[in-house]
């Protein structure tokens, strides 16, 4: 997977933004600004939703970075349903005003990927982790730690995009996917991992630390 540059607006949003701008300009020219104003508001919403800012990566190689912008909604000991182990689960909920690029929380090799169709209940609810549509990455770090990173669709989200494939290497902070319009990302870590974030904390993809690996 080639590295993805950060042109400020995510490539997934270019078609939506182009359509919105063309429609806004056309109605503005034909009927005037006030008739076109709802379209301009929609254009601004699309612009902010698909923003894809560059981020600074923390230097400590043992920390687990947030894979998404949003708010921590879960920090708990539970079963990792994909690797069948006890794990520390940390979940980040993204609302429609967060940037929605997803980035790798650790350095490592992708050992497996899974996709599960499912429902579209509110992604802020705990049951969304196992009931909603989701895409899963199993990443093994150079130190041998297994990290499971799960993109979960939400109430409005209808498209999970994951570009990573089994056998590829991911670097911390590397962009690997996108979820459209509100969702969550679950991260399952070894039980020995030490949380560095708490429920309710605001986090930012790549820049915020979720936990430290042993």
> Which residue in the block uniquely carries the two structure tokens 């991911």?
170
Q: Single out the catalytic residue among 91, 129, 183, 208.
A: 183
Q: Indicate the burial class of 27 (C-beta count within 10 angstroms; 0-12, 13-18, 19 or more).
A: middle
Verify whether residue 126 is a known catalytic residue: no
Cβ-based neighbour number of residue 60 at 10 Å: 11
Q: Helix 14-31 and helix 33-49: axis angle, to 10°?
A: 170
Residue 132 DSSP code: B
Rounded CA-CA distance 79/38 in Å is 46
3-state DSSP assignment of residue 201? coil
Q: Which residues are catalytic?
A: 183
């Amino acid at each position: 997977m080639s590295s993805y540059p950060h042109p400020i607006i995510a490539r997934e949003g270019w078609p939506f933004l182009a359509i919105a701008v063309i429609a806004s300009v056309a109605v503005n020219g034909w009927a005037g600004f006030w008739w076109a104003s709802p379209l301009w508001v929609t254009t601004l919403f699309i612009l902010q939703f698909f923003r894809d800012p560059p981020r600074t990566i923390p230097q400590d190689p043992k920390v687990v970075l947030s894979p998404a912008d949003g708010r921590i909604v879960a920090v708990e000991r539970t079963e990792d349903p994909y690797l069948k182990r006890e794990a520390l689960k940390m979940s980040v909920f993204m609302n429609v005003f967060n940037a929605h690029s997803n980035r790798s929380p650790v350095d490592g090799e992708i050992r497996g990927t899974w996709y599960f169709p499912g429902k579209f209940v509110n992604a802020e609810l705990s049951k969304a982790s196992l009931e909603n549509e989701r895409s899963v990455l199993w990443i093994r770090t150079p130190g041998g730690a297994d990290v499971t990173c799960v993109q979960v669709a939400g109430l409005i989200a209808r498209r999970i995009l994951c570009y990573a494939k089994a056998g590829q290497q991911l670097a911390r902070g590397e962009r690997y996917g996108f979820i459209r319009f509100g969702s969550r990302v679950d991260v399952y870590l070894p039980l020995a991992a030490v949380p560095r974030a708490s429920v309710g904390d605001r986090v930012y993809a790549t820049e915020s630390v979720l936990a430290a690996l042993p």
